[in-house]
């Protein structure tokens, strides 16, 4: 029977598919770490209180990248280059979602609208990350090799999502509510489309590695398109709502040192 659990198990059990999965994950997390570190360095004076929390966000993401590399090392595997069609961060940037890397490389302070755009983009992508890690925690939280990493990263992604909710609500109360709503909607609609395309690309790469028959690949392709249709119709709304999180100031403390996985 084809299920999310059996699919993930097949990927984890095969060295080459696990290698690709961890390389893609590590690349995305490391990019997120760099982006948040640069944003923390460039926050405008009026938002200077945001800088330490953004830096903590970046430190967490960078640490997640190191954890995925450590999981590879533990299995005696080296990372592989990330295929361009699976690089979600850069694809989002090409579609104008989030702050462009050229902007972040410039030593010029960001503006408050830039910060709104960054937080809206993060709120949408952290929703996806939180949901995906919750799924992995459900299936692999007790796995002897990856369980500890999955549990830790899942908790961090929940904190990142809480941080985005709290900061966007603060900015909405300061008069930026209309821009936030408009930006969240644009980011959510772009993200679900790009998530579909990246998911199709990842499944194609994994399918070639694992030698999936055409019928199985077709079934997975249909499922990805079906999920997209549901998200395009109504599911995107979960990515644009804002509520004060139970865990306030989720990124207020120092980053937790990365545990040893290798």
Tens-digit pLDDT profile for residues 45-89: 999 999 999 999 999 999 999 999 999 999 999 999 999 999 998
Residue 250 lies in a domain: no
Structure-model confidence comparison of residues 94 and 1, the more confident one: 94
Percent of the chain residues topping a pLDDT of 70: 95
Give how many domains the chain has, as a whole number: 1
The predicted model gives 144-167 an average pLDDT of 95
Task: Decide: 120 and 168 in contact? Cβ < 8 Å.
Answer: yes
Average pLDDT, the chain: 93
Asked if residue 106 is part of any domain, the answer here is: yes
What's the pLDDT at 262? Answer: 43
Q: Confirm whether 187 is domain-assigned.
A: yes
The continuous run of DSSP H or E covering 95 comes out as: none
Straight-line distance from the first to the last Cα atom of the chain, in angstroms, rounded to the nearest whole number: 33
Domain for residue 116, yes or no?
yes
Question: Taking 90 as the threshold, does the pLDDT of residue 224 lie above it?
Answer: yes
Question: How many other β-carbons are positioned within 10 Å of the β-carbon of residue 79?
Answer: 16
What is the Cα 245 distance to its own chain's centre?
19
262, part of any domain: no
């Amino acid at each position: 029977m084809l299920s999310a659990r059996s699919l993930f198990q097949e990927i984890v059990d095969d060295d080459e598919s696990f290698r690709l999965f961890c390389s893609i994950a590590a690349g995305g997390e490391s990019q997120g770490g760099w982006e948040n570190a640069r944003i923390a360095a460039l926050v405008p004076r009026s938002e200077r209180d945001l800088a330490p929390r953004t830096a903590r966000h970046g430190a967490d993401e960078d640490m997640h990248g190191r954890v995925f590399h450590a999981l590879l090392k533990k299995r005696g595997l080296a990372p592989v280059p990330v295929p361009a069609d699976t690089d979600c961060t850069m694809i989002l940037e090409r579609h104008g979602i989030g702050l462009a890397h050229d902007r972040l490389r410039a030593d010029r302070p960001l503006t408050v609208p830039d910060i709104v755009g960054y937080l809206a983009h993060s709120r949408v992508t952290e929703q996806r990350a939180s949901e995906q890690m919750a799924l992995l925690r459900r299936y692999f939280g007790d796995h002897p090799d990856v369980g500890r990493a999955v549990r830790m990263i899942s908790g961090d992604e929940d904190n990142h999502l809480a941080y985005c909710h709290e900061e966007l609500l603060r900015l909405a109360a300061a008069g930026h509510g209309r821009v936030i709503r408009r930006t969240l909607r644009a980011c959510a609609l772009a993200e679900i489309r790009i998530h579909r395309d990246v998911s199709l690309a990842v499944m194609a790469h994994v399918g070639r590695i694992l030698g999936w028959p055409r019928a199985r690949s077709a079934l997975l392709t249909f499922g990805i398109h079906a999920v997209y249709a549901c998200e395009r119709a109504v599911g995107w709304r979960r990515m644009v709502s804002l509520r004060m999180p139970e865990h306030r100031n989720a990124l207020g403390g120092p980053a937790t040192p990365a545990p040893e996985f290798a």
